[in-house]
Every structure is written in C-alpha cells, then in structure tokens.
Amino acid sequence: MTSTTHPVPSASPTSSASPTSSTSPARPHPFWQLVRVEARLFARSPAAVVWTALLPIAAIIVLGVVPGTRRPSGSLGGLSPLRVYLPILMMYVLLLSAANLLPAVLSSYRERGILRRLSTTPVPPSRLLGAQGLIYLGVGVAIDIVLLVVAICCGVPVPRQLPGFVLSMLLVAAATLGIGMLITAFARTERIASALGMVVFFPMLFFAGMWIPRPTMPHLLRTISDFSPLGAGVRAVGASLEGHFPAASPLLVLLAYAVGCGAIAARRFRWQ
C-alpha cells in the first residue's frame, strides 16, 4: 500500500504550480534574437567578409613570411615593417567595419523604410543600432585578435602592457563607431553613406601610416597624424606593444572623437 502513495503537495510547492515552466525552453532576449538575425545577414554578404577579414589577414601573413619584413629597420626607428604595420592593419579593420560597412547598412534600412517601421513597433529602433554596433565591432575585434596572433607567431613580441593595449583598442573601437554613427546620421541613402565612408576612410588610413609610416613622416604630417583618430590609435597601441602604458594625449584624442562624434550623431540622427 505504501508503494502507491503520492508525494505531499506542500513538500514541493513550485513543482505543481507551473508544470510546463520547468520543461519549456527559455526564449532568448529579443535583442539577442535581433543580433542573430543581423549576423546572418552580414555573413551572407561576401564582399563585406572578404574586405573586412581576408585582406588584412592575408597582408599580415605576407609580412610575416617575408624574412626582410621581420628585421628591424633604421628608417623605421629600429622597428621591423611587420611591427610597424600591425597596429595600422588593426586600425584598418575597425575603421572599415564601423565607418564603411555599418553606415551603408543602416542607411539602406532608412532608405527602405525599415527604421520608420521599427519606430512604430514595440521594438525600439535603438535596439537595432545596438545590434549592428555589436556585430561590426565584434567582427573587428575578432579579426584583430587573429592579426595579433599571426604577428606573434611571426616574431612580434606579446604586448607587455596588456591593460594599456586593451584600453587603446577599446577607445579606437569607440572612436570609429562614433565616426560611423556620425556618417549614418548625415547620409540619407546607402549611396551617400558609402561615398562619405570612402571620403573618411582613405585620409584616416593615410595619417595612420598606411602609405607613409609614421616614423618617416615629416614633422607637419606627424603632428596632424597625432590628432587624427587612427594616428592616435597607432601611437597608443604601439606604446603598449613596446611595454609602455599609452600616454594621455592619444587616449584623450580617441576619447574626444568617441564622445564628440557620438553626441553629434545622437542629435542629428533621423529614423526616416
């Protein structure tokens, strides 16, 4: 008779109150659902993946396998070309993701009325901005990690000032994202966003040292580079790679771009 007795209900009040709650799978937050959808759309764009990932990775591999690029050069301040171009390629990835790809996508959403329709739903449009920013910055950070690992395998020393390195990269990411949002705020269409992105892209890479490395720049160009976002980023990241905490000046320049561009973008942004 004792084998047929049932448990006392009061012994487990939560188990009988909602029998399906413990078995039904928890749904992800709507924000993460949106991130997953936008990430799939990004992965279906071959051009974005190639220009963002394959080109800088191929460039760092070429620099790493050529023996001459791993040797210190007197014209580069005693640094090897691989060591000089590593921060520049890392800046390239973040700039391309945040200031070129992101504004084109968001401007196309505005042009097609997607942002306007989202503004009439319970899902706030700001959630879309957050999802897009997280995707493109996440992609940029992941590619930069690959670049750093490849460079370390080819002889570049591990960053000896890791907190300074992480802080510098976060500020560069914030500055480039602010610039990208500013472009999005002013560009009414995808074509205008792409054009503005190119106008910003090449001068910023120039002052980062892509074509004329910073150690070989004339004094005037290097001064302008110091106050450009990528030039300040290269200074900060380069110092951390050498084992020094970045100076305050490049960090403040990056912070100013991040806060200033972000504030202007927030005031000028339109959903339609």
Q: What is the pLDDT of residues 158-205, one digit of tens each?
A: 888 899 999 999 999 999 999 998 998 888 898 999 999 999 999 999
Residue 77 in contact with residue 215, Cβ under 8 Å? yes
Q: How far apart are CA 140 and CA 142, in angstroms?
A: 5
75: exposed, middle or buried (C-beta count within 10 Å: 0-12, 13-18, 19+)?
Answer: exposed
- Per-residue model confidence as pLDDT tens digits over 224-264: 999 999 999 999 999 998 889 999 999 999 999 999 998 89
- Per-residue model confidence as pLDDT tens digits over 80-103: 899 999 999 999 999 998 888 889
Q: How far apart are CA 145 and CA 156, in angstroms?
A: 13
Greatest alpha-carbon pair distance for the chain in Å reads 96
Residue 45 structure tokens? 């764009």
- Per-residue model confidence as pLDDT tens digits over 51-64: 778 889 999 999 99
For the chain, count helices (H), then strands (E).
13, 0
**Of 94, 246, 249, 247, which Cα lies nearest the Cα of 173?**
94
Residue 137 in contact with residue 173, Cβ under 8 Å? yes
pLDDT at residue 209 is higher than 80: yes
pTM for this entry: 0.82
The contacts of residue 191 (CB under 8 Å, 6+ apart) are: none
The residues spanned by each domain of the chain are 30-207+216-225+239-266
Residue 119 in contact with residue 271, Cβ under 8 Å? yes
pLDDT at residue 71 is higher than 80: yes
Residue 238 structure tokens? 């380069």
49, amino acid identity = V
Residue 168 in contact with residue 240, Cβ under 8 Å? yes
